[in-house]
Amino acid sequence: MPRSVALGFDSSTQSTKALVLDVETGEIVAEARAPHSGADTQHPDEWWTALRSATRAAVGAEHRVVALAVAGQQHGLVALDAAGGVVRPAPLWNNVAAAPDAARLNEAADFAGQVGSRLVASFTIAKLAHLARTAPADLDRTVAVGLPHDWLNLRLTGELASDRGDASGSGWWSPREGRERRDLLALAVGPETAGRLRLPAVRGADEPAGVLSAAAAAALGLPAGIPVGAGTGDNMAAALGVGAAPAELTISLGTSGTAFAVVDGPTADPTGEVCGFADATGRFLPLACMLNCTRVVDTVAGLLGIERGAALDRAGAVAPGAGGLLLLPYLAGERTPNLPEATGSVTGLTGATATPDALLRAALDGVAAGLAYCVEALARLGVVAPAVTLTGGGSAHPAWRQAIADATGLPVTVREGGEHAARGAALQAAALAHGEPVADVAARWRPAVTAEVAPRPQARPAFALDERRRLIAERVGHGPSEAVPTLGSEQGRPSVTVGADAV
């Protein structure tokens, strides 16, 4: 008899991952992936083609899929015409072309106060404002807009549906109020367009998006009518996948790097460094994000002609600090700190540090220091925790684990499984099949700890956290301020823990 399973997807910048999970035991029984182009602007058809391929590779005759759900990369803009077709390729979260539009919108309204997040180029509403400014004819053709996971829900069910987690990254939906803010949308596209645009219906944490349509079922090789979960953003799904609970800090290492925690109340950071998102359980998810994460080491490794695993092995064998070689990893602009036009830089290059291994180590240090910056940004908001749970593709390698522990000064825990976002989507689907809250399912099937790494306090100064802060301050046009704590300093750090009391 076929095994009853839930199917979860992680549709990311680089690929779509499919994960098959036994709905009775929570065991992962199959996985597959299919690539995307990896560009910062992609046609949504890429995601559908990859989802179809991954499904057919992961699901076998021995599986009976009883529910499915999609986690998707946050923020990207999909514009649809009256026939449901894609108006133009979608700018993704890491496309920084909308930076001036985000700045204009921030001047027009207090987005941090209204929707929990001061805008940066990543946010969907900024990308919509960019469309209005640069391609008004395309905006005139647009009748509906959504985020990547919303569009995949449309392909699966015929319903343009989202969840509160992904919707909270749009810039037009308030997690505090739980509603659309078309008055803010009007600042981006004008009142008339804001009034006519169709926006995704926002489902609750335990509500379905719909059921698998006949056309989608035929494309995937599955029966029609299967319940489809609301889905969520990839970071919200990763929190589900590791079973994140209040009072825990999670760092995700992927194309982007994020630091976040589940809390019981909404947050708002007027500096814009921490986004006040909702999560996928009915709670909230303050999050700080780097655009440049594991791909920084990958880029340096490619430049040197070294395979990724070998590059990380060699980087891990070099002492933190790379002998004084310091790399700022802003290869594609940056979001935290908000430097959309920044480029990477290397300082401290000498005869002794001009080696491949030192450069690899400097790249590793640069990203780890940037994530320490994100942790400090959360701490300034009162979101602190005694340890880090590491997730994402980078969490599989010991060099990343030790670098994050050393740079943050916090112990690192790694949990079983490498595709936590896809697992989170599968858990959401399993909860739908069981008819119980997804938070309960995620807690019951929390993956086991597979590694624990202690920080080496003597190593932390080698990351030159204060020097990096000084260089960042120079880039934004002012010196270090007493109002902005020095990176790496424990002075002034709030003595509160993640949870309701922190907000």
User: Is residue 257 left, alpha or beta, with left meaning phi > 0 and alpha meaning psi from -120 to 50?
Assistant: beta
Q: Exposure string (b/e) for 370-392, b if CB count within 10 Å is 16 or more?
A: bbbbbbbbbbbbbbbbeebbbbb
The secondary element (H helix, E strand) that includes residue 468 is helix 465-475
For residues 73 and 339, what is the distance between their CA atoms, to the nearest angstrom? 21
For residues 92 and 6, what is the distance between their CA atoms, to the nearest angstrom? 28
Reduce the secondary structure of 110-127 to three states and give it as a string.
CHHHHHCECCCCCCHHHH
Q: DSSP letter for 2, please.
A: P
For residues 139 and 133, what is the distance between their CA atoms, to the nearest angstrom? 9
Q: What is the largest CA-CA distance in the chain?
A: 67
Residue 166 a catalytic site member: no
Retrieve residue 215's tokens: 């056309």
Alpha helices in 135-229 (DSSP H): 136-141, 148-157, 164-167, 182-189, 191-196, 214-220
Helix 234-241 and helix 420-434: axis angle, to 10°? 80
Residue 335 and residue 288 in contact, taking contact as beta carbons nearer than 8 Å? no
Cβ within 8 Å of residue 346, ≥6 positions away: 325, 326, 327, 328, 359, 362
AA letter at 182: R
Alpha helices in 385-464 (DSSP H): 398-408, 420-434, 438-444
Q: Which residue in the list 163, 166, 206, 234 is annotated as catalytic?
A: 234
CA 500 from centre of chain: 23
| Backbone angles phi and psi of 63, in degrees to 5 | -110, 140
Reduce the secondary structure of 432-443 to three states and give it as a string.
HHHCCCHHHHHH
The verdict on whether omega for the bond into residue 461 sits within 30 degrees of 0, i.e. cis, is: no
Residue 388 and residue 250 in contact, taking contact as beta carbons nearer than 8 Å? yes
AA letter at 288: A
For residues 172 and 158, what is the distance between their CA atoms, to the nearest angstrom? 23
Residue 70 and residue 230 in contact, taking contact as beta carbons nearer than 8 Å? no
Q: Which residues are catalytic?
A: 234
